[in-house]
Amino acid sequence: MTTYRTRRHPGVVTLLLLMLAAALAPTPSSAVGGDWWDPVARPAPDSGIGVTGEPFKGTDAAGEVRGFVDAHNHIMSNEAFGGRLICGRAFSTKGIADALRDCPEHYPDGSLAVFDFITNGGDGKHDPVGWPTFEDWPAHDSLTHQQNYYAWIERAWRGGQRVLVNDLVTNGVICSVYFFKDRSCDEMTSIRLQAELTYDLQAYVDGMYGGPGKGWFRIVTDSAQARDVIEQGKLAVVLGVETSEPFGCKQVLDIAQCDEDDIDAGLDELYGLGVRSMFLCHKFDNALCGVRFDEGTLGTAINVGQFLSTGTFWRTEKCAGPQADNPIGSASAPGAEKELPAGVEVPSYDGDARCNVRGLTELGEYAVRGMMERNMMLEIDHMSVKATGRVLDIFESASYPGVLSSHSWMDLDWTERVYGLGGFVAQYMHGSEGFVAEADRTGALRDEYGVGYGYGTDMNGVGGWPAPRGADVPDAVVYPFRSADGGSVLDRQTTGERTWDLNTDGAAHYGLVPDWIEDIRRVGGQHVVEDLFKGAESYLDTWSASERHRAGVNLADGAQATASSAEWNPFTGHAPGRAVDGDRSTRWASGRSDDQWLRVDLGVTHQVGRVTLDWERAYGTSYRIDLSADGVNWRTVWSTTSGDGGLDTAVFPPAPARHVRVQFLDRGTEWGYSLREVGVHGR
C-alpha cells in the first residue's frame, strides 16, 4: 500500500477543508454513487471542466505508465515576489469568486498594473473583474493573472496529463523593487509557504472526494509513489524549486554570502518539504553559478536587477565551444535603468562574446554533489554554458542520470549529452508550429535513446504563451475532440460567463493544455503527440534511476601512484600521490614537456571500465588510457585528441587490470600536465 506524506500538524486551512467537504452539497454532476473521477461534492458555484468520459488507468502492454508530463509549472507563484505580482489564487476555501479576483491596486481600470505594461507594453489597462465575467483575463499575453485555478488543472488531468512538476518560485530582488507587496521578500520564506499551500490544495481536492488520499491531485516524493498514483488514473505532483538565491547563496561583489553548512541545511530542509528537483541559479549570478542571460529589454532589466542585488553586472567572454548563452543585446529598459545609482550605466557587450564568464563555483559544485548524495534531480535550464558544461562533466564522471531541462532554457546542443546520461528534456509551451518544429528536430535522438518528450508550460511564470492561430486556419482545433488515449471527449472550457476557445483565445490558462496538445496533433501529426504521451514514463525513468544511484568506489583512492616527472615547488609538493589522495585542493603536476605519464597501482586486479581526470588549468589535448595486469604488458582502451580540460570521463568496456596508466601526448598550455584527482571505477 502506498503511504502519502502528511504534515504532522494540520493547519487551519486543512481543518477548514475537512469541514468544507462535510458541508458542501453535491452538484448535479457529482451525485453519491457516481463515477470515481467525479467528486462527491464540488463547491457551488465553480468552474466547468468540459470533459466527459473516464480518465485512463493502468499501464500499457509493456508495463509502462502512460500520459503527458508538464515538467515546469508554478501553481503557487501568486504567493511569490511579495504576493502581489500574480493576481488570483489556485483555490480558496471561500470559493471561486475569492480565488479568481484581481489585485486590489488593479481596480478600477488596471492603471496601476505596473508589471503588466512593463512586460506587455501599452498602458496595462484592463477590466479587473475576474469571476464571473473574465472579460480580459486570464489571457495568453497577460503575465500577472492566475492561470492555474485547480479546476483548470483538473481539466488537464482529465485530458491525459499524469505528471505535473510544481516549481516553487520567487525572486527577492523583483520583490524588493516592485511597488506592491504584502509580505517579506525572503526567498526561503516564500518557498516554505508555497510548499505548504500545495499540500493544502491536495487536502482541498481530497475534501471534495470524501477524505484524505481520495482526490486526483497527489503530491509524490518518490518515483514508485508516482507510478502507483498514475496507475490509479490520478495526477502525480512533484515539488521543485526555481529561485535566484537558494539557501541565501547570493554573491555581493563576487563574495559568497553562504557556506557549505548553509547549503547542507538548505538541501535537507527542501528535501524534508518534499522537493525532489531544483535550479541552482535563476536570472542572477549567485554564489553557486552563473546564469544564461535573458535577451532584449527584459535582459537589460534583469541585468539592472543583478547589479542592484550583487553590485556586479553580467560579464561576458568568447565561448570555448559551440554552445552559447543568449545574446544580451543593447535594448534599453528605461523603467529599470532609472533605479541605478547616479553615474552607473548598463555596460555594452561584444556580439562575439556570448558566454557568461561565471560558471559553476566551488560552492556550486558542493551543492551539485550534495544533490547527488540526496538523489535529487538538477535543473540545468538557466545555468550558463560554462556552468552547465561542468555539471554534465560531474554527472558523467559519476554516471549520474538526474539531469533535467524542463523549458527550453539550455543551449539545445546539450540535448544528446542529457539523453546520454539518462536525463529528461521538455520543451517550453511554444505555439504549435514552433513546438512541432523543435520536436521534429530532436525526434531522431529520442528514437535513438528510446525516450519520450515533455512540455514545460511555465504557467504563472511571466513568460507568455501560445497566441491564437485563428478559427479559419485549415488545421484549427475542432470541438469537441477526443483525448490522446481516446477515452475522453473535450469541449470548449467554460468558467462563469466566459467560454475559451484555443483557436481564438490562445493558451489563456491551464485548462487549455489539452486543446493545445490537440492543436499540436493537427499541425504536426500524431507522432509528436505519441512522443509526448511517453513523457510521464521517461520522466519517471530519470527519477527512479537517480534514486537508485549509489556513489561508486574509487579504486584509485589512496593507491600507489608514480609518474614520469613531478614539478618541483619550494612551498608545496606536486608528487604523483597528490592525484589519488581524495583531496581536490592538492594536485600532481608534471614537467613542461609533451610526453609524460602517470601510473596507478590498484594493489589487486579489478574490473576497470571508467577513468575520470579532474584537471587543474594545465591539461592535455591528446592522451590515452592504458591497462595492464602486470605493469609490463599494456593495452590501450581509450584515447582522445580533443581534450579541453575540466573534468574528463573515459568510458570503455570493462576489463581486468591492476595497473592504470594515463599516457600524455600533447599539452593544451605552455605548462606541463596537472591533475587534481584521478578516479578509477568498475563501470
Tens digit of each residue's pLDDT (9 = 90 or more) over 634-657: 999 999 999 999 999 999 999 999
* Integer Cα distance of 641 and 237 in angstroms: 46
Contact 458, 429 (CB under 8 A): yes
pLDDT of residue 245: 92
pLDDT of residue 569: 82
pLDDT of residue 113: 84
Contact 135, 495 (CB under 8 A): no
Contact 294, 282 (CB under 8 A): no
Nearest to 443 by CA among 477, 408, 419: 419
Nearest to 157 by CA among 286, 54, 269, 23: 54
* Integer Cα distance of 540 and 224 in angstroms: 9
* Integer Cα distance of 635 and 659 in angstroms: 11
First to last CA, the chain: 35
Q: What is the dihedral of CA 430, 434, 440, 446, to 10 degrees?
A: -20
Nearest to 650 by CA among 634, 662, 668, 659: 662
pLDDT of residue 407: 96
Contact 371, 378 (CB under 8 A): yes
Measured from the Cβ of residue 474, the count of other Cβ atoms closer than 10 Å reads 5
Contact 587, 574 (CB under 8 A): yes
Look up residue 682 and give its three cell numbers: 568498475
* Integer Cα distance of 385 and 279 in angstroms: 14
pLDDT of residue 16: 32
Beta-strand ranges (E) seen in 342-460 are: 355-356, 377-379, 403-405, 424-428, 454-456
Q: What parts of the chain have a pLDDT lower than 50?
A: 1-32
